[in-house]
């Protein structure tokens, strides 16, 4: 796949093999072409890229494998030595009394406290505590090196100072490399340092020097990431682990248990003894044993204030120090196993590099947040007005019971509350001056004044309106009262009905059992209304005639004539014989006896005959489901992103925004409904991400704290603001060692019709700097194609016109087959076949073949 020049530099070999040098089986080639045609992949024209040739840096080794191994080893070897120093050290016990002073304090073996600028040793175990109610400020911290204990106290903890801003500044953070009052990293201070912590990405965001754009040699090693990499849990395993000792009501757990009973599977819980949740307390209990960590003091930081921290200062500092001790013990247990499991230095180098993420910002960050909030508020106000208007229009269907013929609103609660009045009291005599009023006026006044006693203390809420409409109207005595159905929102179940949503042109319908779906007319079986349902006027019936008209379907000819409830009741009152001829009673009974028998037993009797079944047309939804009682129609569930069988909570959720753009999900209430649907889509991103974006700890830097590249740049503006965000990344947040961060690693691309989706564009390089990026498009598919082609046809990238074959060598094919053979005899803890990790010997053999 490479040009000859690049191939020669990387693999130290000559030109690629030609077609004449490789044996190609003609029959196999025909089979390949047949497969490609079957999947509509043959005869596809593709752009042929020109060869890219440039001089690469010299390989750091004899082959590409040794090159990366050498580079990674250079990056991590000094930090590995620092880690070993911590593991082998015999630290003394923590101080009995902590110094109540600003900044860092060092504690000798005899407990002597000495103020210092920052911990002197190059490797420490570190933990900080924040007071939640005081904002994003660090309150206290402790550290442990191979020689000393250290403590740090915030200025606001020692002195009761007024905070002029709710956002922390650089001087409020914890220094680990610079002296107190210094804003620059000098060359002699830029030593290689290692900080170990549990979820250390959180602690790193409160370190002062991490907000300087100058490159620091300080690296962070996360014990939580090491635990996850060695023996972490998958998402579903975490759910099962939490549900171990209690009756979980989570749907995933119930479905898993039901499937186990259905298939008779015997599930083993052995995996719960070799792993645990990711918090420090559980990880410490699993790997170190002993007494569980006491986390009761944590409530002070979660719910208390600064006065509570000052009152319990010694206890809280000891609590923080216990976490440091526990973190070190966990690291001592996990570090040898981690090194054994992940021997390649690129793994550790990658984890450390992911822990150095840095996001520069400028004044556009605040402008972005302010404009998004303003736009979002305006759109939400317009959306609410549109939904309130549709609710008012729908309320008018109460007249003449028109709602019964509406495919969306028919099953809402249309019951009306009447005005409640007190009983009429005894008539009071009202004294009036004879000269002022006449007898007739006096009677009118008496009548009006007498109604005062009829008014109840608690007035009826919205009398004369249907119940569903009254639920959308706040009561008058509420604090946030506003007129009309102001409580309506896109999250309510009534909103898709007011919008009259359709899926592929079919009206949506909500089933208590299956969730949101859509109704497709044309079903010719199941026309079986029950007699007691027809007689019961209180129970609403699906307006299937209106659905047929909406979808342009003709009425089925082979379905028996359907009569209304009123017509049927007339037949019953008149003693109609036809209404009871299908009653399942003794043949000797006449119609009158059958009628009395039906009323006395209350049996449900089918009234209409069922016609022959009709084939169901293909639909994108999940179904059809026959247990939804809609005569003449099929019910399909709206497809869920997690697959079949899952209930859709709302068709207006963010997962269905693409369906709105494609026109699959649309509204039938006119331009107002279409506009409401577009507004809901526009507001979705900011609504889901507003809190996470606004809570980002953006630290603004003073001019004296900026680098010379910025201040000397011609683009530098004294009125501009420059700052940085340190994302709280978990370098190995999954068992596949993928980094995890809730905001920045999940940010989507920008969309012109979604407020706030341009989040990534707000990370802007300062003057004198540039962003450089590289991304291989569909890299996983490329690799899978290479391996799949080499296994099937023993070649890859064959160009018949050019006469070149870039297939894998035979030795590599054999190594891959050996690895695949090792993956067959393995079962996971659930008794299912799964792919096992190839042995280290086969991986080594594969690396040698790749290198050659």
When the pLDDT of each residue in the chain is averaged and rounded to a whole number, the result is 78
Banded pLDDT at 605 (limits 50, 70, 90): very low
> How many secondary structure helices (H) and strands (E) does the chain include?
27, 16
Looking at the chain, the whole-number percentage of residues with pLDDT higher than 70 is: 73
Task: State mean pLDDT over 475-484.
Answer: 70
| Beta pairing partners, 566 | none
Rounded to whole angstroms, the Cα distance separating 42 from 34 reads 8
Mean pLDDT across the stretch 365-386?
A: 94
Give the ranges where 98-222 is alpha helix by DSSP (H).
155-158, 200-204
Q: Give the rounded percent of residues in the chain with a pLDDT score beyond 90.
A: 30
Taking the C-alpha atoms of residue 410 and residue 774, their distance in angstroms, rounded to an integer, is 55
In the predicted model, is pLDDT for residue 9 greater than 70?
yes
Higher-confidence position of 62 and 142: 142
pLDDT for position 251: 67
What does the pLDDT read at residue 539?
53
Q: How confident is the model at residue 20 (pLDDT cuts 50, 70, 90)?
A: low
**Dist. CA 841–CA 846, nearest whole Å:** 9
pLDDT at 708 over 50: yes
pLDDT at residue 819, as a whole number:
47
- Residue 119 is predicted with a pLDDT of 93
Choice among 127, 203, 411, 789 that is catalytic: 127
β-partners of residue 700 are: 723
Which residues are bridge partners to 174 per DSSP?
207
Average pLDDT value for residue range 513-529: 73
DSSP 648: B
- pLDDT bracket for residue 133 (50, 70, 90): confident
- 323 part of the active site: no
Query: Which range scores top for mean pLDDT: 134-143, 263-272, 541-550, 701-710?
Result: 134-143
Q: What is the pLDDT of residue 512?
A: 85
Q: Binning pLDDT at 50, 70 and 90, where does residue 437 land?
A: low
Q: What is the CA radius of gyration of the chain?
A: 37
Torsion region of 518: left, alpha or beta (phi above 0 gives left; psi -120 to 50 gives alpha): beta
The pLDDT of residue 840: 45
Outline where 222-297 has alpha helix (H): 223-231, 235-242, 251-263, 280-288
* Residue 190 confidence class, pLDDT cut points 50, 70, 90: confident
pLDDT above 60 for 580: no
Nearby residues of 452 by Cβ (< 8 Å), 6 or more positions away: none
d(CA 707, CA 220): 23
CB 190 within 8 A of CB 212: no
CA dist list (Å): 789 to 476, 785, 797, 816, 824: 71, 6, 9, 12, 21
Helix (H) or strand (E) holding 813: helix 810-821
**Confidence bin at 594 (pLDDT 50/70/90):** low
Which helix (H) or strand (E) segment holds residue 123: the answer is strand 123-130
Task: Check whether 716 has a pLDDT greater than 70.
Answer: no
Give the DSSP letter of residue 718. T
Q: How confident is the model at residue 386 (pLDDT cuts 50, 70, 90)?
A: very high
Q: What is the pLDDT, as a whole number, of residue 294?
A: 85
Confidence of residue 291 (pLDDT cuts 50, 70, 90): confident
* Mean predicted confidence (pLDDT) in 687-715: 81
pLDDT of residue 830: 32
Most confidently modeled of 451-455, 578-582, 843-847?
Answer: 451-455
What is the 8-class DSSP label of residue 848? Answer: H
Task: Look at residue 506 and give its three-state secondary structure.
Answer: strand
What are the beta bridge partners of residue 723? 361, 700
Neighbours of 152 (CB within 10 A): 26
Token couple for 612: 């022959």
Nearest CA-CA partner of 756 in 700, 696, 694, 698: 694
The whole-number average pLDDT for the span 476-492 is: 78
Query: In this predicted model, what pLDDT tens digit does every residue of 192-212 receive, in sequence order?
Result: 999 999 999 999 999 999 999
> 712 versus 429: which is more confidently predicted?
712
Q: Which residue has the tokens 């940010």?
A: 747
Pick from 103-107, 238-242, 603-607: least confident: 603-607
Lowest-confidence pick of 352-361, 459-468, 487-496, 503-512: 459-468
Q: Which of 62-71, 157-166, 170-179, 796-805 has the lowest mean pLDDT?
A: 796-805
Mean pLDDT computed over 97-124: 92
Would the pLDDT of 719 be above 60? Answer: yes
pLDDT of residue 558: 46
Assess whether pLDDT exceeds 60 at residue 821.
no
Sign of CA dihedral 177, 181, 183, 184: negative
pLDDT of residue 442: 76
The Cα 306–Cα 318 span in angstroms is: 17
What are the Cα distances from residue 220, in Å, to 225, 259, 262, 807?
Answer: 11, 43, 48, 42
For residue 810, what pLDDT band results from cuts at 50, 70 and 90?
very low
Return the pLDDT at 672: 84
At residue 252, the 3 state secondary structure works out as: helix
Q: Per mean pLDDT, which of 33-47, 166-180, 815-829 is the most reliable?
A: 166-180
Which of 15-24, 373-382, 545-554 has the lowest average pLDDT? 15-24
Q: What is the mean pLDDT of residues 16-44?
A: 74
pLDDT at residue 563, as a whole number? 47
Question: How far apart are the two ends of the chain, measured CA to CA in Å?
Answer: 16
- 662, pLDDT greater than 50: yes
Instruction: Show the beta-strand stretches assigned E in 751-837.
Output: none
Helix residue ranges per DSSP H, 551-628: 565-573, 591-601
Highest mean pLDDT of the ranges 120-124, 259-263, 398-402: 120-124
Whole-prediction pTM: 0.76
């Amino acid at each position: 796949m490479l040009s000859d020049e690049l191939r020669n530099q990387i693999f130290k070999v000559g030109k690629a093999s030609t077609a004449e040098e490789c044996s190609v089986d003609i029959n196999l080639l025909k089979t390949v072409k047949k497969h490609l045609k079957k999947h509509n992949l043959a005869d596809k024209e593709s752009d042929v890229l020109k060869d890219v040739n440039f001089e690469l840096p010299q390989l750091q080794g004899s082959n590409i494998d040794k090159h990366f191994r050498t580079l990674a080893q250079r990056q991590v070897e000094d930090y590995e030595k620092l880690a070993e120093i911590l593991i082998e050290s015999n630290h003394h016990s923590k101080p009995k009394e902590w110094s109540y002073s600003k900044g860092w304090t060092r504690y000798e073996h005899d407990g002597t406290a000495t103020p210092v600028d920052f911990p002197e040793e190059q490797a420490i175990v570190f933990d900080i505590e924040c007071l939640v109610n005081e904002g994003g400020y660090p309150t206290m911290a402790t550290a442990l090196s191979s020689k000393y204990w250290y403590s740090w106290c915030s200025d606001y903890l020692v002195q009761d100072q007024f905070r002029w801003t709710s956002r922390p500044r650089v001087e409020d953070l914890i220094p680990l490399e610079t002296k107190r009052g210094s804003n620059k990293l000098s060359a002699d201070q830029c030593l290689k340092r290692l900080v170990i912590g549990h979820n250390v990405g959180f602690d790193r965001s409160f370190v002062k020097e991490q907000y300087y754009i100058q490159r620091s040699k300080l690296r962070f090693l996360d014990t939580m990431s090491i635990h996850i990499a060695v023996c972490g849990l998958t998402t579903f395993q975490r759910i099962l682990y939490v549900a171990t000792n209690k009756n979980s009501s989570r749907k995933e757990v119930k479905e898993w248990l039901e499937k186990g009973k259905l298939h008779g599977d015997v599930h083993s819980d052995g995996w719960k003894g070799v792993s645990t949740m990711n918090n420090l307390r559980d990880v410490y209990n699993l790997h170190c044993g002993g007494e569980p960590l006491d986390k009761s003091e944590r409530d002070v930081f979660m719910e208390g204030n600064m006065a509570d921290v000052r009152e319990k200062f010694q206890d809280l500092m000891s609590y923080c120090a216990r976490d440091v001790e526990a973190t070190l013990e966990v690291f001592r247990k996990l570090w040898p196993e981690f090194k054994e499991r992940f021997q390649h230095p690129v793994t550790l180098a990658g984890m450390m590099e992911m822990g150095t993420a840095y996001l520069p910002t400028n004044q556009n960050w605040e402008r972005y947040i302010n404009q998004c909030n303003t736009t979002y508020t305006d759109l939400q106000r317009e959306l609410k007005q549109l939904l309130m208007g549709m609710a008012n229009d729908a309320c008018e269907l109460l007249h003449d019971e028109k709602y019964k013929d509406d495919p969306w609103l028919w099953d809402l609660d249309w019951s009306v509350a009447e005005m409640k009045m007190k009983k009429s009291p005894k008539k009071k005599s009202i004294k009036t001056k004879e000269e002022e009023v006449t007898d007739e006026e006096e009677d009118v006044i008496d009548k009006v004044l007498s109604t005062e006693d009829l008014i109840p203390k608690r007035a009826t809420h919205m009398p004369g309106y249907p119940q569903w409409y009254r639920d959308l109207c706040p009561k008058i005595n509420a604090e946030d009262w506003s007129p009309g159905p102001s409580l309506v929102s896109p999250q309510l179940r009534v909103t898709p009905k007011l919008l009259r949503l359709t899926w592929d042109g079919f009206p949506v319908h909500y089933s208590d059992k299956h969730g949101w779906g859509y109704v497709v007319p044309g079903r010719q079986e199941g026309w079986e209304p029950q007699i007691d349902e027809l007689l019961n006027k209180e129970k609403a019936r699906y307006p299937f005639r209106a659905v047929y008209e909406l979808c342009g379907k003709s009425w089925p000819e082979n379905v028996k004539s359907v009569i209304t409830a009123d017509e049927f009741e007339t037949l019953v009152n008149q003693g109609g014989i036809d209404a009871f001829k299908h009653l399942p009673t003794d043949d000797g009974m006449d119609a009158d006896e059958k009628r009395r028998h039906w009323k006395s037993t209350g049996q449900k009797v089918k009234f209409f005959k069922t016609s022959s079944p009709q084939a169901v047309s293909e639909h994108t939804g999940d179904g059809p489901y026959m247990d939804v009682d809609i005569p003449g129609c099929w019910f399909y569930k709206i497809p869920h992103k997690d697959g079949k069988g899952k209930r859709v909570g709302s068709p207006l959720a963010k997962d269905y925004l693409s369906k709105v753009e494609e026109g699959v999900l649309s509204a039938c209430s006119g331009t107002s409904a279409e506009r409401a649907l577009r507004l809901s889509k526009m507001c979705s991103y900011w609504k889901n991400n507003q809190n996470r974006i606004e809570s980002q700890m953006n630290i603004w830097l003073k001019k004296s704290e900026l680098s010379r590249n910025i201040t000397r740049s011609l683009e530098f503006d004294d009125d501009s603001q420059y700052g940085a965000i340190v994302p709280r990344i978990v370098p190995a947040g999954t068992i596949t060692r993928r980094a995890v961060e809730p905001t920045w690693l999940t940010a989507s691309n920008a969309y012109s019709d979604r407020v706030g989706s341009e989040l990534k564009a707000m990370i802007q390089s300062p003057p004198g700097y540039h962003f450089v990026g590289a991304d291989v498009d569909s890299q996983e598919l490329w690799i899978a194609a290479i391996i799949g082609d080499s296994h099937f046809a023993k070649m890859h990238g064959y160009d018949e016109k050019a006469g070149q074959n870039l297939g894998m060598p035979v030795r590599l094919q054999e190594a891959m087959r050996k690895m695949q053979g090792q993956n067959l005899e393995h079962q996971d803890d659930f008794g299912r076949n799964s792919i096992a990790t190839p042995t280290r010997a086969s991986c080594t053999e594969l690396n040698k073949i790749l290198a050659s």
